[in-house]
Structure 1
Amino acid sequence: MTRIIADISVSLDGFVTGPDPGPDNGLGTGGDALHTWAFSDDPDDRRVLREATDRSGAVVLGRRLFDVVDGPGGWDDTTGYGAGEVGRPAFVVVTSSPPGSVRLAGLDWTFVTTGLSDAVTAARERAEAASSDSGNDLDVVLMGGGATVGSALAAGLVDALTLHLAPVVLGAGTPLSTGGAPRTLVRRSVTPTSTSTHLTYDVV
């Protein structure tokens, strides 16, 4: 069964980027510390990353994050989805207007201009098709940015939330949540490592 999983790294004070993020500084000042775990040699970090990549049938991201990963300093052969782990799911971008061109033309991009709910629906269809082709249950992963994940949680679109809690206090940046209706979470797993605490919750 395809689930919708929000998966994002966050600081101890609740930020998913540092201050002043932008196309040339995607994670903001100091924000690189949020993703140290993704490049760690710790076997538990590697396992968490591999399992997340393996379950990805389709990935949803917002336009600002797309502009970062597709920009000149964005993803390449070593820093793409899964930080070098094998995996090329379909990518669905929520945007008000599709870009004129795409640098990462080797990836499967779909641009949805009718809102987040429609983007999640499109991603679910892609993930279900990938599940059928592979014979494995694959999920939709909401990778960010923070506004996309926060909006999906507020709209009740998320089945599970995975947080990679980095041991850093950024003081400012892009918050994971800016309000919305309360959501009850049921903890499924906790994996502490030297670089992060990986937390997974069911959203009920």
Structure 2
Amino acid sequence: MTRIIADISVSVDGFVTGPDPGPHNGLGTGGEALHAWAFSDDPDDRRHLREGTARSGAVVLGRRLFDLVDGPEGWDDTTGYGAGEVGKPAFVVVTSSPPDSVRLTDLDWTFVTTGLSDAVHAARERAEAASRRSGRDLDVVLMGGGALIGSALDAGLVDMLTLHLAPVVLGAGTPLSTGGAPRTLVQKSVKSTSTATHLTYDVL
């Protein structure tokens, strides 16, 4: 069965970027510490990254995050989604208007202009198609940014929430949550490594 999984790194004080994020500073000041686990040599971090990306049949992201990863300082063969770990899933971008051009033309991009729910539906269709091709269940992963994941949680679109809790206090930045509807979480797993605590919850 295809699940909708929100997956994001967060600081101890609840921020998914540091202060002043922008086109040339996507994670904000000090925000690189949030993703240290993804570049760690710790075998448990590597296993968590490998397992997480291997389950990805399709990935949903917002337009601001797309502009960062597709920008001149964005992804390449060594820093893209699951680089060195997994094949390339389909990517679905929620946007008010598609970009005029795409730098990362080797990736499968779909731009949805009719809202987050339609984007998740499109991603589910792609993940289910990938599941049929591979013969195993693959999921839709919402990789962010924080506003997209917060909106998806508020809309009841998320089945599972995975947080990578980085041992850093940023003091300011982009919060994971700005309020919204309360949600009950059921803890499924906690895995501590040298660089993060990986927390997985079912969302009720």
Shorter-chain TM-score: which interval?
over 0.9
Identity within the alignment, %: 87
Compared with structure 1, are the counterparts of its residues 83 and 165 closer, same or farther at alpha carbon in structure 2 (3 Å cutoff)? farther
Once the two structures are superposed, the pairs formed by residues 52-91 of structure 1 within 5 Å of their partners are 52-91=52-91
Structure 2, gaps ≥5 residues long = none
Please give the per-residue CA displacement for 1:179-203, whole angstroms capped at 9, x wherever unaligned: 1111000000000001000000000
Please give the per-residue CA displacement for 1:37-92, whole angstroms capped at 9, x wherever unaligned: 00001111001000011000000000000000000000001000024322200000
Aligned partner of residue 200 in structure 1, secondary structure:
strand
CA contact (8 A) 1:81 1:87 kept: no
Distance 2:181 2:72 in 1: 38
TM-score normalised by the chain length of structure 1: 0.99
The runs of at least 4 aligned residues of structure 1 exceeding 4 Å deviation read: none
Query: Which residue pairs with 2:141 in the alignment?
Result: 141
Aligned partner of residue 136 in structure 2, secondary structure:
coil
Query: Which residue pairs with 2:13 in the alignment?
Result: 13
Q: CA RMSD in A?
A: 0.6
Query: Which residue pairs with 1:163 in the alignment?
Result: 163
Structure 1, gaps ≥5 residues long = none
Distance 2:72 2:53 in 1: 24
Distance 2:83 2:12 in 1: 22
Query: Which residue pairs with 1:175 in the alignment?
Result: 175
Distance 2:168 2:69 in 1: 23
Aligned partner of residue 182 in structure 1, secondary structure:
coil
Distance 2:111 2:126 in 1: 13
CA contact (8 A) 1:39 1:83 kept: no
Q: Is residue 195 of structure 1 aligned with residue 192 of structure 2?
A: no
